[in-house]
Each structure stands twice: as C-alpha cells, then as structure tokens.
Amino acid sequence: MKYFFFLICLSLLAACSENTNKENYDWQLREGFPKPTIPQTNPMTVEKVELGRHLFYDRNLSFNQKQACADCHFQELAFSDPRVFSLGTTGEATQRNSLALVNVAYNKTLTWAHNGIKDIETQLLIPMFGESPIELGITGNEDTIIERFKTEHYKELFEDAFPGQEINFNTINKALASFVRSLISLNSPFDRYAYDGDDNALSESAIRGMNLFFSEKFECHHCHGGFNFTQSTFHEKQQIDRRPFHNTGMYNVNAQGAYPERDNGLFEITLDPADHGRFRAPTLRNIEVTAPYMHDGSIKTLEEVIDFYAAGGQLISDGPNQGDGRANPHKSPFVKGFEISEQEKADLIEFLRSLTDKNFLENPKHAAPSQ
C-alpha cells in the first residue's frame, strides 16, 4: 500500500507564497516543484551557467594551476569527494568531508556548520580565497589568475554572460555560483514512483524501506524530510525560516558533550555550548554514491550509518576521542536508537539507493566542457 498522505506532504512542501524570482531561466523542474530562491544581484542565465561550468573544471583558477573545483567534486559521485578530507592545491587537507553539490540551490545554509552562510556566492569565497586551509590559493595571486582568463575563448564566454563587464573575481564568483545552482537532481526512481505514479519504479524492498524511513520507529524523516531529504531548505513557496543543525552523538570526549578539538561544529561560529557537535543534515539524494559519510568522513558505508543510528550514537572505547556519544547531553532527541532486523536494514538501504539519479550523475550539461 502506498502512503499517499506523506507523498502529498512532500509535494506541497509548504504554504504557497508569491513567486519572487524574476529570471527567465528554465530550471527544468518537475511540475509543481518550487523554484529555488536566488540573490537579486545574480539572476540565473544560461550564459552564466555555461561560463561557470568552464570555470568549475579549469585548474587555471588555482594559483599553481594544479586544482579545479571539480578535483574535489566529482560528477559521477554527485559532485562529492571519495576522500575523507579533500586536499587543496598545495596538498593541505580541508577540515571536513566535501559535501555533495546536489540541489544546493535549495539549501537554506551552506557548509556543514555555519548558520550565517546563506548563499552560494558567499560560500565560494572560502575555497577561492581561504588561507587556512589553502584550497585554490587565490589570495595574493589575483592579478596572475585573472590574466589567464583573458583568452579569446574566455573573453567570448564572459561577454555572453556579463555583457560590457570586466573579467574579474566578481563575475567569476557569480558564474561559478550559477553553475553550482544549476545542479538540480529530481529524477531518481523514488521521484518517478512518488511524483509520476510509476508503480514499477521501486522494488518491493525499496517500498518497505520507504515506509520504514518515514516511520516514527526510525525517525529518519525528522532530519531528512521534504522533497530534498533535508530540513535545511528554502524556496519560493516556503515561508518558514529553517536553519536546523543536529548533534547525532558521534562523540563525547569529555563526558560533557565535547567533540574532538579539530571540529566542534556550529559551536565554532556561535560559541553557544549547546551547539557543540551540531551539524547540518545533508540531503540524502544520491547518498549511495557519496561515501564516506558524516562531517568527518568517519563512516564508510550506508550499512555502518544505519548501525550508528540504531545504536543511538557512537561509543569509542579508547584513544584520543574516547567517550560515549550515545550519552552526549547535546544529542538530538531524534537520535535515540532503535532495533532493526537484517531484512529491515536491507530494505532501508534499498530505499536510499532509490534516491540515486543516474541522469544527474551522467548529464553532459554538468560535465567538463570539451575545450
């Protein structure tokens, strides 16, 4: 039996409000789906997206010409990175596992744990100009890098995207943001089942797993709800300001809720003790191909992720991170543990795999340009 009541909830999303997007860009969304909200200072155009695609794959954007955005965000992996931590252009490791660039246009906040970064343009400044760690290493090398893009090929692309404007880091930033914003994934087997009415799109196992996912027994949907399978969403029809972050009980190194000194999550921004270990729940779309999991890439498989939540957190018996995350005082009330059979686990994983959008992973419009 299909649970049409929750599918209706998914499609409605929130009470409707007036569409404030003025651009004519064709998002190629499913019928009835809301458009993402975009900054008024950077309306979407096909030309900006195309320029951004070229820049995304171009190592000339790094100071030593050894790194492109695509070197940490692989299309076949839903623009995620299979490494625990990505490496910048000098080989320096980033602080966290690289998030998949899936439906980022719908995110209310960007990065794993920052409640103030709310648009892609701002987020991009971190890998572009950040110095600790160095990712692209643009700071101090701005003039040299800009000169590399004054070729006839790029001059034409920039003129198409930004008529009469200079080639500078403002236009580079806007073009990159437009490309990332265009990475929309809404064509998984689940979507065909839920929104197209294709009864054959999901296996019996996946349907059982779907019902488990939306059950109160497992609580998955509380943090990974809505059409984008994350609470942290914002779009033209949403009136509620949602910027949720969650402590899932991964660590408890001092028995008082501390996370490893290397990364304390949202606490590093707010300095509120209650925010120790709180991170944004990422989308589960294409989750099958985005391992390793969690902010620190410490869980390798979906099976292990389910075991982690079934245990209600992580117990570390020895070493520098020793502690019982299950007893973390800041842990989300939705992470309370549950009993799960091997069949239920297999069904739940089958459902998660049904969120894989192969068209997205292979779409030539998102791939590296031929020149």
For the segment 160-171, what is each residue's pLDDT rounded down to a tens digit? 999 999 999 999
Q: Is position 51 within any domain? A: yes
Please give the pLDDT value at position 252. 97
Compute the distance between CA of residue 310 and CA of residue 218 in angstroms, rounded to an integer.
8
| CA–CA distances in Å: residue 209 to residues 121, 275, 353 | 37, 32, 10
Average pLDDT for 2-20: 33
Residues 6 or more apart whose Cβ sits within 8 Å of residue 219? 334, 335, 336, 338
Asked if the model's pLDDT at residue 231 lies above 50, the reply is yes
Amino acid type, 232: S
How high is the mean pLDDT of the chain? Answer: 91
Question: Do 279 and 112 contact (CB within 8 A), yes or no?
Answer: yes
Q: Is position 154 within any domain? A: yes
Please give the pLDDT value at position 23. 60
Please give the pLDDT value at position 329. 96
Tokens representing 5 are 């009541």
Comparing 223 with 181, the larger pLDDT belongs to: 181
Q: Is position 321 within any domain? A: no
pLDDT tens digits for 64-115? 999 999 999 999 999 999 999 999 999 999 999 999 999 999 998 999 999 9
Compute the distance between CA of residue 109 and CA of residue 107 in angstroms, rounded to an integer.
5
Asked if the model's pLDDT at residue 235 lies above 80, the reply is no
Q: Is position 150 within any domain? A: yes
Q: Is position 206 within any domain? A: no
Q: Which of 56, 117, 70 is nearest to 245 (CA)?
A: 117
Q: Which domain CATH number covers 62?
A: 1.10.760.10
Q: Which of 29, 80, 20, 10 is nearest to 233 (CA)?
A: 10
Q: Which of 304, 302, 326 is nearest to 313 (CA)?
A: 326
Average pLDDT for 1-11: 34
36 phi and psi angles, rounded to 5 deg: -65, 155
Please give the pLDDT value at position 234. 60
Asked if the model's pLDDT at residue 181 lies above 60, the reply is yes
The whole domain housing 163 covers 46-184+360-366
* pTM of the full structure: 0.90
Q: Which of 5, 7, 1 is nearest to 226 (CA)?
A: 7
- H/E run at residue 316: strand 315-316
Count the helix, strand and coil residues of the chain and give each as a percent rounded to the nearest 5: 35, 5, 60
Domains in the chain, number: 1
Q: Is position 139 within any domain? A: yes
Please give the pLDDT value at position 32. 85
Q: Which of 318, 316, 306, 307 is nearest to 348 (CA)?
A: 306
Q: Is position 161 within any domain? A: yes
Q: Is position 283 within any domain? A: no
pLDDT tens digits for 284-310? 999 999 999 999 999 999 999 999 999
Comparing 30 with 304, the larger pLDDT belongs to: 304
| CA–CA distances in Å: residue 345 to residues 19, 213, 338 | 41, 10, 12
- 152-161 and 169-181 helices cross at what angle (nearest 10)? 70
